Amino acid sequence: MTGRGELYACLYIKEFPAQSLLRVRPQLRQRPCVVMDGDAPFRTVCSLNGHARRAGIVRGMSQAEVDTFTSVVLLFRSRGEEENTRGALLECASRISPRIEELMEAEMFACVLDISGTARLSGSPQKLAKALLQQVRNVGVSASIAISRNFHAAVCMARGMSRTGSVVIAQGEESRVLAPLPLSILQLSEEEAKTFERWGIRSLGALAALTEEPLIARMGQEGRRLRRLALGELPHLFVPKEPQFKLEEYQDLDHPVQDVDSLLFVIRLLLEKLMIRAAARVLALASVTLDSSLEDKTTYSHTIRSVLPSNDLHLWLKLIHLHLQSYPPQAAVLTLRLYADPEPTSKLQLGLFSPQLPEAVKLDVTLTKIRAIVGEDRVGRAVLKDTHQHDAFFMETFSVPSTSESADLSSTESFLAMRRFRHPLSLKVVIDKENLKAVFFQRKRYDVAFAYGPWRRGGDWWSSTPWEEEEWDVVARDQQGELLCCCIKRDRSGRAWQMVGIYD
Amino acid sequence: MTSASQIRTQIETVLGNRIPGALTPRPQTVRPVTSLGIASIDGALNGGLPAGAVTEVVGEESSGRTSLALSFAARMTQAGKVCAWIDVADALDPESAAATGVDLRRLLWVRCRTSNEHVSSTSPRSEEMCQALKVADLLLQSGGFSLITLDMGSVLPEYVLRVPLSTWFRYRAAAERTQTSFLLLTQKSCAKSSSNMILKLRAREMNESQRSISFFTGLNTDIEVIRERFTPSPASIPGLKKQPHSYEAVNWYRRTTWSGRR
């Protein structure tokens, strides 16, 4: 919106890809340079400097065409360097005002600063523009700066400036100052450009002079918008760019370190810094990523997660300690980088005297310790798969369910449970006339009292891994009279017998 | 004439230095128990298994130790509590657990058997035992688990009996502090005085009606309490001599999931 107290400064950088590359190659600035974009052989010129333009090169030329010019330096577009330059420019702008809106334009960099209320801090708009221009020059790029009370007027003016420098548009002077600028700065569609060309309108002043109602009748609301742009009256809702909040700390070590305790000392310092920054925004650390470069030229990158976001330094140190013990770096650590994902702080209800359920944070540490003892995939809760196949389940990370469902506690039905043998356990079976007579198990002979079966089972015949087996439920006794109830199976060849499990 | 209470006060004052409160009956501590939901067993156990104590369930293979522990776990998880199952031999069958009524989301399962070098043997060895004992320690110390089952049912008694008694004593103290029911499944009793209750399970012969059916329907088990500390006594003043226990074995029938109710 355009209001009385509003003041905007537009920082506009033309030929951004070329300027990004030349800012770190000052020796090339006095030579014609072009930046090629795309994959060979379809590379075209996407950006160029003033010397190249004066030599006759235009944007869109192919590499073969550029090669016809002598002493032209070919550069290739680097998004990384553009990103670095962009970051440096935004940092310059943020020194003037924290409220910055970035505009997305191809091959250009443009951002608008809300500088209303900065007069006491930075002086007059002219002084502010000069200071900003100087800062941008220090980065190594040349820019145009336009200051106006209207957002779009500032952008149009900065876009239309033929030379680098700064312009301050006084209040009420917007239409007069914008009048000589060409229509092309409004970024018209092809159809609109043709229409205005037919009408003989080539400047913003000519467009502003049109009467509004007939223009709307011919071009619709878009015509009205363009006219108001030309007049410097179009309102704008300023959406400041929120700086990305990144929790990251980096430390170069003086000497390679392999000892976990020594590493933890450094990690502790970095964690403290991260936690202070997170706590300042009422956030807590949800996960911490350790990223280190090692002495043997490899990297070590591991992410440690907590079950609940927490800023408890001891908890994080314990989790990282246990993780480093389980997965130690293969060589001494040279550099240490810690990233953290922040999340809103969690609420914990502590038990009155003794906890009714495991406390989430304490449980997390306990589970990490248990994982270090028995292995990563050996702890958790079992989730059954939707199949009739035996022992079909997978393990999932254990956490205390938040909801408690009421169940009927009147009586529990008693079922026979099975103790399963997960590794194939071969059996010797004595068969007499297709009847099971005895089973040899754990070096003991069990005489079969009852054998129920064979029960033929199968499934997944529609997939590439079908299964089929024959099972018997066996009730047997050893010489001392001890009972053994088990489930045994025979493979498809009919020769090998295996113990499935014991009913217990 | 001096009343009885005055005489008692005098005697207690004289003996105060050596036997404090010599003639005053000790206040009885109410020891909480958790029901298994199986009426016959609950009746025999005076309400259920003790909370905040170590209970040993001993018996041979097929005697019903796993079924009993799963029934208890089912009861606990249905009440919204969280349980842990430390599985030394990696023998727990989640399907059986789910069929018994265990809410698998509330059951932390720790599978200790990791090495494949002795897969031909059914009994785990000292490596898995060490893992299980460490895990039990961690879980007991962390608190919040209403039931921790240490399943050493497949471990040969000679290995289990090597566990120092101080370990069981430590578990007993931790269970008491965190009010966790600690269930120990073994073939022979090993925790000695650290266990509050020892249940002996023995599989029974199949009866005629079971034999006549053409598929396996279930098993009968005799459950006997062979030790119980803090037996509730009806008298307010304990006798000078400890009374011998007189428990009768309770029959418990467990049916297979594919057979109907009897």
Nearest to A504 among B37, B39, B62 (CB): B62
**What is the least distance, in Å, from the CA of B107 to any CA of chain A?**
6
pLDDT at A410 exceeding the cut of 60: no
Which residue's structure tokens are 């906890």?
Answer: A355
Tell me, what's the pLDDT at B43? 84
DSSP state of A33: E
Q: What are the start-end ranges of the H helices in A97-169?
A: 119-122, 125-139, 151-160
Distances in Å between the Cα of A363 and the Cα atoms of A308, A366, B91 are 11, 5, 24
Residue in chain A closest to B261 (alpha carbons) equals A413
A501 touches chain B (CB under 8 A): yes
Q: What is the pLDDT of residues A135-163, one digit of tens each?
A: 999 988 999 999 999 999 999 999 999 88
**C-beta separation of A451 from A439 below 8 A:** no
What is the value of pTM for the model shown? Answer: 0.61
The torsion defined by the Cα of B87, B88, B93 and B99, in degrees rounded to 10, comes to: -40
Residue in chain A closest to B37 (alpha carbons) equals A411
Listed in sequence order, the residues at least 6 apart from A76 whose beta carbon sits closer than 8 Å to its beta carbon are A35, A36, A37
Q: State the best of B216, B219, B222 to mutate against chain A, taking most chain A CBs within 10 Å.
A: B216
Q: Which residues 365-424 of chain A have a CB within 8 Å of chain B?
A: 365-367, 369-370, 373-375, 378-384, 390-391, 393, 395, 398, 400-401, 404-424
Q: How far apart are CA A56 and CA A50, in angstroms?
A: 10
> In terms of pLDDT, which residue wins out, A470 or A320?
A320
Tell me, what's the pLDDT at B58? 94
Q: What is the pLDDT of residues B113-167, one digit of tens each?
A: 665 544 445 556 678 889 999 999 999 998 889 999 999 998 888 889 999 999 9
Residue A350 banded pLDDT, cuts 50, 70, 90: very low
Q: Identify each DSSP E strand in chain B by its residue range.
A: 33-34, 49-50, 54-59, 83-87, 107-111, 147-151, 181-186, 195-203, 218-228, 250-255
Report CB contact under 8 Å: B62, A374.
Answer: no
Q: State the best of A415, A474, A488 to mutate against chain B, taking most chain B CBs within 10 Å.
A: A415
**What is the least distance, in Å, from the CA of A496 to any CA of chain B?**
15
Which pair of structure tokens corresponds to residue A68? 């016809």
Distance of alpha carbon A361 from the chain centroid: 26
The torsion defined by the Cα of A399, A402, A403 and A408, in degrees rounded to 10, comes to: 40
**What is the least distance, in Å, from the CA of A398 to any CA of chain B?**
6
Average pLDDT over residues A1-15: 81
Residue in chain B closest to A420 (alpha carbons) equals B91
Percentage of chain A exceeding pLDDT 70: 94
Tell me, what's the pLDDT at B237? 54
CA gyration radius, chain B: 22
Which chain B residues are Cβ-neighbours of A424 within 8 angstroms? 119
Q: How far apart are CA A74 and CA A25, in angstroms?
A: 13
Which chain A residues are Cβ-neighbours of B255 within 8 angstroms? 414-416
Average pLDDT over residues B66-88: 92
Q: What is the pLDDT of residues A66-88, one digit of tens each?
A: 989 988 999 999 888 888 888 88
Q: How far apart are CA A141 and CA A133, in angstroms?
A: 10
| Dmax (CA) of chain B | 82
Which pair of structure tokens corresponds to residue A204? 């913003």
Q: Which residues 313-352 of chain A have a CB within 8 Å of chain B?
A: 351
Report CB contact under 8 Å: B256, A415.
Answer: yes
Report CB contact under 8 Å: B94, A393.
Answer: yes
> What is the value of ipTM here, to two decimals?
0.84
Residue A169 banded pLDDT, cuts 50, 70, 90: very high
**DSSP string for residues in B104-158:** GGGEEEEE-----TTTTSSS--HHHHHHHHHHHHHHHHH---SEEEEE-TTS-HH
Nearest to B211 among A410, A450, A482 (CB): A450
**What is the least distance, in Å, from the CA of B245 to any CA of chain A?**
26
Question: Terminal CA-to-CA distance of chain A, rounded, Å?
Answer: 78
Residue in chain A closest to B123 (alpha carbons) equals A442
Q: What are phi and psi for residue A149, nearest 5 degrees?
A: -80, -20
Q: Tally A–B CB contacts below 8 A.
A: 215
Report CB contact under 8 Å: B91, A421.
Answer: yes
Tell me, what's the pLDDT at A10? 94
Report CB contact under 8 Å: B65, A504.
Answer: yes
Q: Which residues 32-71 of chain A have a CB within 8 Å of chain B?
A: none
> In terms of pLDDT, which residue wins out, B4 or B222?
B222
**What is the least distance, in Å, from the CA of B169 to any CA of chain A?**
20
Q: What is the pLDDT of residues A103-136, one digit of tens each?
A: 877 788 999 999 998 888 888 999 999 999 999 9
Q: What is the pLDDT of residues A232-280, one digit of tens each?
A: 999 999 988 876 778 888 888 888 998 888 999 999 989 988 888 888 8
Report CB contact under 8 Å: A418, B93.
Answer: yes
What is chain A's mean pLDDT, rounded?
87
Residue A351 banded pLDDT, cuts 50, 70, 90: very low
Which chain A residues are Cβ-neighbours of B177 within 8 angstroms? 354
Which chain B residues are Cβ-neighbours of A367 within 8 angstroms? 108
Tell me, what's the pLDDT at B117? 47
Tell me, what's the pLDDT at A39? 86
Listed in sequence order, the residues at least 6 apart from A434 whose beta carbon sits closer than 8 Å to its beta carbon are none
Tell me, what's the pLDDT at B119? 47
> Which residue type occupies A305?
R
Q: State the best of B95, B112, B202 to mutate against chain A, taking most chain A CBs within 10 Å.
A: B95
Distances in Å between the Cα of A159 and the Cα atoms of A69, A115, A225, A320, B130 are 29, 19, 18, 52, 75
Report CB contact under 8 Å: A414, B252.
Answer: yes
Q: Which helix (H) or strand (E) holds A20?
A: helix A16-22
